[in-house]
Amino acid sequence: MYSEHKFLRLAKKMELYYFWKSEYSSMVRLVLLEFYSHTVTLHEVDLTKHEQLQPFFCHINPSMQIPTLVVSSSKVITESVNISKYIVPKNGWTDKAEEMIQRIAALPMYQITYGYTDEPELKKKQFLQTLFKERPTVMKNILLSNSSLSEDMKQNYANRIRIYETEMIEQMSDPVIVQHCWKKIDEFLVWLEQQLSKLEDPILGVIENQFSVADCHLIPIVARIISLEREHLISQKPKLYQWWKQMQKRDSFRKVFDKKCETHPNDSNCFCK
């Protein structure tokens, strides 16, 4: 956990605020390791402790989301796609990479991560459900206990509370909606398998037979799907599964997914988290 002054210090070099379990944070960390040669200071923001909702982080990113890249004291970049575009050279951001990344960005990841399709899955996700539903209360308490907040910050909190209490909690609490989201995920994976089947050597990357920023964005998505006990959605697609096995051999993968997998804690070679 970081103190307020650490969040507000002026950036002398780029600083990334992330959470190790966040697939979007992992996308950016992979991009930095693969495409950026300079040092970046990493600050972990613990979502399980609601650190992203605290006023000192809201000063940096009013949307209260990670990842957040502080480039300088006057330049802050949010959203994994925007951060990746800033880091990756223009010649590395092709039209095919753009299409793939936009498809990935449109996937309903928070619904499948926090939501459930049946009672057994709800029991497994009880902690996540509770954590997610606590967030509006945490923000309301911050508003009540911090009279010195600016009007802009108060409005930011009010907007986030409204989003959580309406569409977000509603979607993750409806098994029908979550099941539909899983259908969208599988449709994307089927499309992806078709794209990989067109490549000469798909293990090198998901587009143009070479590793690219698109792979950096896809790897954490596959890892998340596997961690949610849906590995069959990957293993049943030969080209995709072959690509996945190859990606786990990359140094950047091992550095980002360096903590023990919670789904397969006894498998030292598993990095799916």
Domain with CATH 1.20.1050.10 in the chain: 92-256
pTM score, whole prediction: 0.88
Contact present, 214 and 101 (Cβ < 8 Å): yes
Q: Provide the CATH topology of domain 92-256.
A: Glutathione S-transferase Yfyf (Class Pi); Chain A, domain 2 (1.20.1050)
Q: CA nearest 218: which of 238, 244, 242?
A: 244
Q: CA nearest 113: which of 125, 101, 131, 130?
A: 125
Instruction: State the amino acid at position 194 in one-letter form.
Output: Q
CATH number corresponding to 4-88:
3.40.30.10
CB atoms within 10 A of CB 95: 8
Digit-coded pLDDT (tens) for 147-160: 889 999 999 999 99
What the block records as the tokens of 161 is 């509370």
Digit-coded pLDDT (tens) for 134-189: 999 999 999 999 988 999 999 999 999 999 888 888 888 899 999 999 999 999 99
Digit-coded pLDDT (tens) for 14-44: 999 999 999 999 999 999 999 998 989 999 9
Lowest mean pLDDT among 40-49, 139-148, 228-237, 258-267: 258-267
What the block records as the tokens of 124 is 């497994």
Residue 268: pLDDT band (50, 70, 90) is very low
Domain with CATH 3.40.30.10 in the chain: 4-88
What the block records as the tokens of 273 is 């988290």
* Residue-level length of the chain: 273
Q: From CA 34, how far away is CA 31, in angstroms rounded?
A: 5
Contact present, 32 and 77 (Cβ < 8 Å): no
Position of tokens 């070479």? Answer: 210
Sheet holding 68-72, edge to edge: 41-44, 15-18, 68-72, 75-78
Q: Using the 8-state DSSP alphabet, how is residue 244 labeled?
A: H
Handedness of CA 196, 202, 204, 208 (dihedral sign): negative
Q: From CA 195, how far away is CA 171, in angstroms rounded?
A: 30
